[in-house]
């Protein structure tokens, strides 16, 4: 997704940025279902800088779910 030119489905602009939910602590991280003590992984989002429409979600550390 990084190499393709994104166009916002909501407003038609093409200015995107990324942000992250979660991080070094497990607060905000996505975790495996039923694994209360798992650290999980942050979620990275690519979204339109104009209107905030989210173009993609990415699990930063998918290896934590294997």
pLDDT one-digit tens code per residue, 4-26: 799 999 999 999 999 999 887 77
pLDDT one-digit tens code per residue, 27-66: 889 999 988 788 889 999 999 999 999 999 999 999 989 8
For the entire predicted model, the pTM comes to 0.78
What pLDDT was estimated at residue 2? 53
What 3 state SS string does the chain have?
Answer: CCCCCCCCCCCCCCCEEEEEECCCCCCCCECCCCCCCCCCECEEEEEECCCCCEEEEEECCHHHHC
What pLDDT was estimated at residue 1? 47
What pLDDT was estimated at residue 66? 80
What pLDDT was estimated at residue 3? 54
């Amino acid at each position: 997704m990084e190499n393709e030119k994104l166009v916002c489905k909501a407003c038609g602009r093409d200015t995107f940025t990324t942000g992250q939910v979660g991080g070094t602590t497990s607060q905000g991280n996505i975790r495996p279902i039923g694994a209360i003590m798992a650290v999980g992984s942050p979620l990275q989002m690519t979204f339109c800088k104009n209107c905030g429409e989210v173009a993609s979600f990415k699990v930063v550390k998918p290896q934590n779910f294997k």
